Structure 1
């Protein structure tokens, strides 16, 4: 009995001991925590970032280790009340606002700006100032181009033959000493006529190349033989342009490249430059640059044209003829400009356009339309016979209708280009009946085998084209393509040259310097080749790992992210140097010449006749880089939310903040030159893509076509922060036309109408005060604005250049605001002698603001409690000034950054958001789109420091009087998460019995309830993460409530607290398969039920076949006799040998092959959410929870833009999926059928039809039309 009681007694004693120990531990843990809190209740000294200051080491009270008592098992879910959430929101607001009051010191800033004048922002004045500056720049560049033109015509008229040993400086490998290449025999023509000498080059940031200002150099097109005497003669006399080039540059050192493109196929440019250095893409293969096919050359060589291409689609068009025909058609389309109208018509016994929606009309020859027409030509079967009479009749009637059509730009010339392998009859009389006025030119491209059979095509086509002022040419091989395209352009330029009185000064579209879109396509193939190489390497390294399910699914998701989700990288790793060009045609001085031909007769006699000559000698041009053009534009007058753009006569964008040029870091986007005004300025109302509201359509027509200047107020959707945010607002649009070509457009929001205007002049005294105020202080300015800078930048940092010029102004009483003359001297000029330019108004504003903010920068120490860790306080002005101070405290998170990370002033997202909600502390969480590169083995592009920090900002100004700027502080997100956790989760100070959990209030413990802070766009500003060791780069990716808590976002949408909007990306890129399967066939299709039955029968038949095969093998098999040991060994050796021979074949797996793609333009749409701050919506937000019906409790965080939400985790979202704002999904083009069109068979054609559903009106370019028939001598007429 006693033995049985002993174990029980021992257990009772042990239990009492454990119980007392646990109670003691609980008491000790709570006591230690309370003691720690009392120790840290005092004020902490927080110093500015100086080298001598030592930060105080403090403990983070939220990181104290203590033993949390085990809670009792809950029997029911506790409810968080609206009152709790309201109190928590107020506690968070108090901390944010107290931190602002303590460190930002807005009162000192207001005192510094007490004497600053406030004015109403004047949109009309901004437009006038911009137009004046742009017009002056274009006029100066036009005069420089005309000086080159006049000198070139004079040199041509007095040219002399070059010496026999003449050589020229070639741009390729200009900085390398070359070896002489001698021909094998004296009878051979030398293969290289360029100089062997090496030219010393210097790197120039102004020209973005390695250049020499002492020389010019020549680039010769690939298909031109440079040693041809006819070419050498022109290269020789163009050397005389060096003096004109230098004179232009001496007058204005801000000039960029000057050049003349000769009709012979070479480009002489100044300064001399290394040609390879001007390319941004490093691809294999020869340079395909030909200046005669660049848009500035083609535009200057003649007025707009209507071109109808008749493509022979009969059965005889096959083999090499078909290949050459397609290459010619593609080359001709690439040579046309966006001002030209074009279409391709296939003909045999049926006449139809290559794209159904292009029937009976011509469309602009832009990238999207031309790519669509070419894609539709590829996969068609050639059948039947030629019906030339019918197709010529169709073509003439179509061009006649086009000439009379309204709301389309008027063309000066119309041409029919027939691409065929035979002409059987003489259609001269037919063409005279169809077009008696002779206004339509006719060209025939005869495709034939050089050694094949002959027919009468040469005689018939020759007489037909001669009668129609056209040209007949033979296309034998693909080497003839470029020359024959140029021959058509030479014919079309004759009317301009024939009149020899009026000159065109042409302003080009925006384009990427010397790059060609075809190089981007090659570069994309190189990227896919690199991806294939990587996959082969991974396969050989570990086949099993490479082919496992997880890996294969990851590769599949990679392409899904690129194409379906539109999460490709949109950053710009390469500056393509976008530019426009002012060009002027140069006329050949010869007006007639003798031409000798061999007659087609038995005796083969030569016949010489004198013909009139109307040839273009070339085109002279001067480049204007967009980066240089932006320097003269007054962005500092726009304020937060304002925008300044330039559009051409077609409505295409030249300059706009939301234009995206590249994708995947370094590849030009398809159609980057044809981004329309409505593609970047979108209406506030949510509509289907390209379904423009009537008022916006009328507004665009007024701006582009009807009115040269004006003003209109529109409801717009202002998109910013890489398309991830948008503000719906009213905007005032002001515009003014320049040179009858470009239009300047200024857009100003309604909320930021008053601004500070420092009433000052950039005097010597002002510069002295500003220079003293800048002593040993931190500041930055907008990196892309012109304050004062040298033409060729000398300083690495913008702020050093600003200090330098302020110092110069304070030292020089007669300081000139502009000194752009260049002096050619053998002695290198000093820094003070180099050309520079200043914006006097902006420099005066900047100096005034530097002085006004000087007291704010003078306070060295700030005492008090630091609740949000280390921070960076800042002040940013509309003039681009950024001043900041770093305040450090010991923190476990991160060191505060320097303020120059956010140096873009009013262009920063937090600046424009704060200006939209004045007197509100705006907490900005940076949002970056998901960026995936094409090559899966490359790391994701880094987001940078600016995406790792939160910003609390508020406008600085007087209520209803105007804004001086924005002030606030940058702080680390983990400190806000600590604050959120301490307010909504920690129970240290709860007045409840920890033994009885039922007496405690519900908290956001991450189990039943989670608390998040979101902004007005639904982006999660802060939430409590359980895994604190998460990758820092992944933490920088902002979460959205729709993804983190979809049930809560669905409830908010249903309650109309949030509203879903859509932003359309009309500059999107899609990645269809390289060998695209044709869809949308016009053949009849079976119903879905019959198709299902047919597929089921096929599956059953296939399965039956496999079963029968297996049964047959089992039935016919026999037992094998045993082999001898020798036979077994022989078989082993054979298997071993086969294994060694075939190991690589057995390693191969078809799943390693990359799915080859190409890139193409497409439309995409992204979901954006907007908080509705109406009384009704806020009342609905504050109601109590109803778990799964209303699984949240919310409250506004007072005096901020934030919402605090307590969300119940027990109800997963089961309804309709909410839209992910990170997905930029492609727009389905299935609605084409509803508009009465046959669905095209290729993706490019479907996109072209989609974009041409609603034709956007364009203005006829400023040009004159001249008659193209020799018999006509009437005066030139204006196409307006």
Structure 2
């Protein structure tokens, strides 16, 4: 609904401008004077009208009055941030301890069961295979290993069908289900079932518990059916999961040497690259590495990192993978030069004190060695043999195997031969079990905690989602050792047990009501990576929601970026307890608005874990808490009202402790608790007391809203659709003035409307913004739609309710209304037609063709414009010259923001594609390889398929991927509160443009009236679009080398004098399926 102008306005304006320009020639036109007094009148009329409507329908004055009545009965307390963070850390410590104790019980049971078991090569045992359970043949009989396994949906496991009495076993597709080693392992580990069940009984908040065997099978509780992917493959191998590797080994420094001499051409180089990639998969955030390719010279895969090691975080590993594709084979292999360089790097880097300061290893990937290089090993590594040598012989020829095996055996390492791509993963895994030996001999069951991650690799098992998408979790894991005396010096690792802990479990221990409106808690790892933080964004949207590639290694400094010197981050990494303060710029409303405030941060460590906890409290109202007091009877009565709801993501009562409570909403749980009907319920008494108080104080508003709805005049205020309130305790009330089906915005205040409801991370947007307004004034906004065209059709207005008339007063509640945009705009246009003159002749009107009238908010977004399509747009994009002048005059200020979790369009083609184009031989080879592999797959379900699927799918996705992680900079704009009105003139190329901006009383709005006869096109629009921060090559290199302060894990088992190093590899590992005899067909083709 725009101003009622003639349709020909645009054309006639242009005609008038042309005639005027012709008449005056080069003389610059004088600007049109817009009378400030008239604009002030309009603003006052609109402000009075809209505030009257907002106050009337929200009931703000009634609620303010009700809280004032209780003023003398409440006690206001300043929150002691340090005490609060210590208490929260203690709560989390207890919760984490319960999880680790559950895992410890599994370790004890597993080791005891294995000790009693005698290996039987002929053991026949029908176990529950997770892929085959409940499967029948064409005759209706259960398949072998596929017996009946009762599954039932369970709400604790997201309604997935599970068996909470038994576990079942997953075996990777490339392994033989009935291999004696697997059957024996499955048999003795069956005794874990009763411990799984017992753990779940003791702690019903536990989710998946599991045992990952060193032999490759994965026992999981509760039992669940696994479904293969579309290729009939389950590529999941528990041994390359982070929790397994972290628990099995100690932190390590690794130098990978890759032979790129002429003999490595073709398939051999492809296998070598895949081997390097698989080794990288086994490295974690506590490890350090570098990759050197060698022929007659040394070639650092990343030349910038010459002579040093880099942390094995995801970003660095992906960077190296991209460079791997550029390797090509030529020349002669001079291994002695490479070995000398590797030993020197490890020694020098160890002396810097930056690395793991634990295990060290050299990984050698080659098709042969003409010498044993014992003089080099004698110089650098003997007699202690602190650097292990792992050798990978590429190809089928065994002529040089003896030399490579000797190197590994003489240096406490391991030798394997990798003949095909299908062999890579299994052979790479061997080194982990060698590195685990000192830990096993020490019999040190270190508890490890992973960083936060979403493990989507388990097809069914990890399909735990909440309303916001996949569940973020951390895993607690412990290694399981062989206790048999005869194997002690061999240090045999049996596997790893673990359980997952959803990060939302942590959030349940945090009393959000004690943190204030803008306050929050967050936790980080020993590497400074975020475990939980309200600003952590896991997903991005491109067609559909996708997981960001680097979501698990977002550093605290990337979200609390105002702390340029990492003072807060480093103190937390170093497990200090203390306080830190800084001014912050917090974005809200999809990042389009900014709130500038001062935060006080309190932090401490969470004992028994590698995590540290922080709490942020905003200065002012955010640091105060009050206690009200009413009787349980009064409060219960007012909680029974049907319009009352509570924040379901807040933890008023712990409904996870007993299965019979899981179906209860928080409100239902509170009522049962207060009535004494559920004595087993554990609830937060302090929070419930405040909920009762808020319920009693806010109860009269229900009758008030009802009377308004009954007496609502037919025509005047039909645009008001919803009234709502929220209190500091997460209590909400909602009243509809129209039928639910008639609501313009059907999603508002529903569970999916995360921005506008209380959730685990933050208060509703309308509450947070109202709290920063001057008390008694309303904040108006239109919701930003996610679609490019869908414009919002509603306006939300809200105001805060304060207990006292001073800065220290807590904001106890916020109330508001939502109305139709058309209704709101009509009120604006009506007000803008008023005149000050007695004769009714207006000196200026928004209907005039020479002016444009706008209503904008304090962040510069348009709520009303004569062009309806501009609603919701940023004012600077429409009137760039005026916005520029407002910034110059200080009416608005620009705030520069940074996004270190952004996703940008990739500006380069994938190196895979380019490589194929530049190297016809490579392209031909790839094509032949594809044809041959397809042929073999057609003949028989071939073991290569798991490699083929995972590798080629990854490459296909890489080629298709259009967005990649990047850093961006973008502006936000905020009005200067002290400036109520401004007039201005802008000198343009051939005219002068005048404007008036006037604040709307008791609001966050401004009326802007602009002279439209002067277009001023020479001034570019001001955009809010983010700009990618590009780093030049030298800066990229510095960023790669730069290592932030981190705290290495407390335990290290890199070496043990009793270790028996005689088991150091030999024959290629036993492959599962006889069809692998077909591999020579491919090898003959590629090894020539």
Give the alignment's TM-score, normalised by structure 1.
Answer: 0.71
Cα pair 2:269 2:329 within 8 Å, conserved: no
Question: Is the counterpart of residue 96 in structure 1 residue 39 in structure 2?
Answer: no
Equivalent residue pairs, number? 981
Q: What runs of 5+ residues in structure 2 fail to find an aligned partner? A: 21-30, 916-955, 1062-1088
Please give the alpha-carbon distance, in whole angstroms, between the structure 2 residues aligned to 1:817 and 1:343.
54
Q: What does residue range 936-947 of structure 1 map to in structure 2 within 5 Å?
A: none
Cα pair 1:872 1:898 within 8 Å, conserved: no
Corresponding residue number in structure 2 for 1:463: 406
Please give the alpha-carbon distance, in whole angstroms, between the structure 2 residues aligned to 1:322 and 1:1170.
54
The alpha-carbon deviation at position 175 of structure 1 amounts to 5.0
Cα deviations across residues 15-60 of structure 1 (Å, max 9, x unaligned)? xxxxxxxxxxxxxxxxxxxxxxxxxxxxxxxxxxxxxxxxxxxxx9
Aligned counterpart for 2:233 among listed residues 281, 286, 290: 286
Aligned counterpart for 1:581 among listed residues 453, 475, 481: 475
Please give the alpha-carbon distance, in whole angstroms, between the structure 2 residues aligned to 1:152 and 1:584.
11
Q: What does residue range 1221-1240 of structure 1 map to in structure 2 within 5 Å?
A: 1221=1024, 1223-1229=1025-1031, 1231-1233=1032-1034, 1235=1035
Q: What does residue range 591-670 of structure 1 map to in structure 2 within 5 Å?
A: 591-592=485-486, 612-664=489-541, 665-670=544-549
Cα pair 1:918 1:955 within 8 Å, conserved: no
Secondary structure, in 3 states, of the residue corresponding to 1:224?
coil
Question: Is the counterpart of residue 877 in structure 1 residue 754 in structure 2?
Answer: no
The alpha-carbon deviation at position 208 of structure 1 amounts to 5.5
The alpha-carbon deviation at position 300 of structure 1 amounts to 0.6
Secondary structure, in 3 states, of the residue corresponding to 1:624?
strand
Question: Is the counterpart of residue 904 in structure 1 residue 758 in structure 2?
Answer: yes
Please give the alpha-carbon distance, in whole angstroms, between the structure 2 residues aligned to 1:698 and 1:274.
48
Change (3 A) 1:1263 1:1021: farther
Please give the alpha-carbon distance, in whole angstroms, between the structure 1 residues aligned to 2:59 and 2:914.
66
Q: What does residue range 791-830 of structure 1 map to in structure 2 within 5 Å?
A: 791=656, 801-812=665-676, 815-818=679-682
Please give the alpha-carbon distance, in whole angstroms, between the structure 2 residues aligned to 1:974 and 1:211.
52
The alpha-carbon deviation at position 736 of structure 1 amounts to 0.8
Secondary structure, in 3 states, of the residue corresponding to 2:960?
coil
Change (3 A) 1:788 1:573: closer
Cα deviations across residues 964-1005 of structure 1 (Å, max 9, x unaligned)? 121222222222211222222578x98668xxxxx6422223
Question: Is the counterpart of residue 513 in structure 1 residue 381 in structure 2?
Answer: no
Please give the alpha-carbon distance, in whole angstroms, between the structure 1 residues aligned to 2:604 and 2:502.
22
Corresponding residue number in structure 1 for 2:1077: none
Question: Is the counterpart of residue 221 in structure 1 residue 180 in structure 2?
Answer: no
Secondary structure, in 3 states, of the residue corresponding to 2:882?
helix
Question: Is the counterpart of residue 1043 in structure 1 residue 877 in structure 2?
Answer: yes
Change (3 A) 1:809 1:1178: closer
Secondary structure, in 3 states, of the residue corresponding to 2:162?
strand
Give the alignment's TM-score, normalised by structure 2.
Answer: 0.83
The alpha-carbon deviation at position 158 of structure 1 amounts to 0.8
Please give the alpha-carbon distance, in whole angstroms, between the structure 2 residues aligned to 1:252 and 1:488.
36
Change (3 A) 1:959 1:1220: same
Change (3 A) 1:1269 1:666: farther
Corresponding residue number in structure 1 for 2:85: 127
Cα pair 1:882 1:899 within 8 Å, conserved: no
Secondary structure, in 3 states, of the residue corresponding to 1:907?
coil
Cα pair 1:950 1:973 within 8 Å, conserved: no
Aligned counterpart for 1:1008 among listed residues 828, 850, 853: 850
Corresponding residue number in structure 2 for 1:485: 428
Change (3 A) 1:700 1:759: same
Q: What runs of 5+ residues in structure 1 fail to find an aligned partner? A: 1-59, 183-190, 521-570, 594-610, 684-691, 819-837, 933-939, 994-998, 1028-1034, 1082-1152, 1236-1245, 1274-1280
Aligned counterpart for 1:700 among listed residues 565, 569, 578: 569
Aligned counterpart for 1:420 among listed residues 350, 366, 387: 366
Please give the alpha-carbon distance, in whole angstroms, between the structure 1 residues aligned to 2:340 and 2:610.
36
Please give the alpha-carbon distance, in whole angstroms, between the structure 1 residues aligned to 2:747 and 2:326.
58
Change (3 A) 1:1073 1:93: closer
Please give the alpha-carbon distance, in whole angstroms, between the structure 2 residues aligned to 1:893 and 1:241.
55
Question: Is the counterpart of residue 83 in structure 1 residue 37 in structure 2?
Answer: yes
The alpha-carbon deviation at position 1053 of structure 1 amounts to 2.7
Question: Is the counterpart of residue 1264 in structure 1 residue 1052 in structure 2?
Answer: yes
Please give the alpha-carbon distance, in whole angstroms, between the structure 2 residues aligned to 1:1272 and 1:503.
20
Corresponding residue number in structure 2 for 1:553: none
Cα pair 1:1051 1:1190 within 8 Å, conserved: no
- RMSD over aligned Cα, in angstroms? 3.9
Aligned counterpart for 2:799 among listed residues 939, 947, 953: 953
Secondary structure, in 3 states, of the residue corresponding to 2:516?
coil
Corresponding residue number in structure 1 for 2:691: 846
Corresponding residue number in structure 1 for 2:651: 786
Cα pair 1:79 1:1185 within 8 Å, conserved: no
Cα pair 1:780 1:903 within 8 Å, conserved: no
Corresponding residue number in structure 2 for 1:969: 817
Q: What does residue range 970-1049 of structure 1 map to in structure 2 within 5 Å?
A: 970-985=818-833, 1000-1005=842-847, 1007-1025=849-867, 1038-1049=872-883
Change (3 A) 1:656 1:780: same
Cα deviations across residues 374-394 of structure 1 (Å, max 9, x unaligned)? 111112332222221111111
Secondary structure, in 3 states, of the residue corresponding to 1:316?
helix
The alpha-carbon deviation at position 930 of structure 1 amounts to 5.0
Cα deviations across residues 394-437 of structure 1 (Å, max 9, x unaligned)? 1111111211114x353310111111122112212212202344
Change (3 A) 1:173 1:1026: same
Secondary structure, in 3 states, of the residue corresponding to 1:512?
coil
The alpha-carbon deviation at position 1012 of structure 1 amounts to 1.6
Q: What does residue range 333-372 of structure 1 map to in structure 2 within 5 Å?
A: 333-372=280-319
Cα pair 1:415 1:441 within 8 Å, conserved: yes
Cα pair 2:857 2:1005 within 8 Å, conserved: yes
Cα pair 2:255 2:292 within 8 Å, conserved: yes
The alpha-carbon deviation at position 735 of structure 1 amounts to 0.6
Q: What does residue range 272-351 of structure 1 map to in structure 2 within 5 Å?
A: 272-276=223-227, 286-351=233-298
The alpha-carbon deviation at position 349 of structure 1 amounts to 2.7
Question: Is the counterpart of residue 168 in structure 1 residue 137 in structure 2?
Answer: no
Aligned counterpart for 2:1003 among listed residues 1200, 1203, 1207: 1200
Q: What does residue range 1122-1201 of structure 1 map to in structure 2 within 5 Å?
A: 1157-1158=960-961, 1161-1173=964-976, 1181-1183=982-984, 1189-1201=992-1004
Change (3 A) 1:632 1:288: same
Change (3 A) 1:200 1:949: same
Aligned counterpart for 1:915 among listed residues 741, 749, 771: 771
Secondary structure, in 3 states, of the residue corresponding to 1:511?
coil
Secondary structure, in 3 states, of the residue corresponding to 1:872?
strand
The alpha-carbon deviation at position 810 of structure 1 amounts to 4.1
Change (3 A) 1:715 1:283: farther
Please give the alpha-carbon distance, in whole angstroms, between the structure 2 residues aligned to 1:124 and 1:751.
17
Change (3 A) 1:403 1:83: same
Secondary structure, in 3 states, of the residue corresponding to 2:605?
strand
The alpha-carbon deviation at position 138 of structure 1 amounts to 0.5
Please give the alpha-carbon distance, in whole angstroms, between the structure 1 residues aligned to 2:234 and 2:242.
18
Secondary structure, in 3 states, of the residue corresponding to 1:274?
coil
Please give the alpha-carbon distance, in whole angstroms, between the structure 1 residues aligned to 2:473 and 2:320.
28
Please give the alpha-carbon distance, in whole angstroms, between the structure 1 residues aligned to 2:403 and 2:143.
41
Cα deviations across residues 450-480 of structure 1 (Å, max 9, x unaligned)? 2x5x53x222222222111111211110121
Corresponding residue number in structure 1 for 2:63: 109
Secondary structure, in 3 states, of the residue corresponding to 1:732?
strand
The alpha-carbon deviation at position 334 of structure 1 amounts to 1.1
Question: Is the counterpart of residue 717 in structure 1 residue 676 in structure 2?
Answer: no
Please give the alpha-carbon distance, in whole angstroms, between the structure 1 residues aligned to 2:906 and 2:7.
58
Corresponding residue number in structure 2 for 1:1059: 893
Look at both structures and tell me which one has the larger radius of gyration over its CA atoms: 1
Aligned counterpart for 2:98 among listed residues 121, 133, 140: 140
Cα deviations across residues 599-645 of structure 1 (Å, max 9, x unaligned)? xxxxxxxxxxxx94211111111111122332222222111111211
Aligned counterpart for 2:146 among listed residues 189, 192, 195: 195
Cα pair 1:716 1:730 within 8 Å, conserved: yes
Cα pair 2:775 2:799 within 8 Å, conserved: no
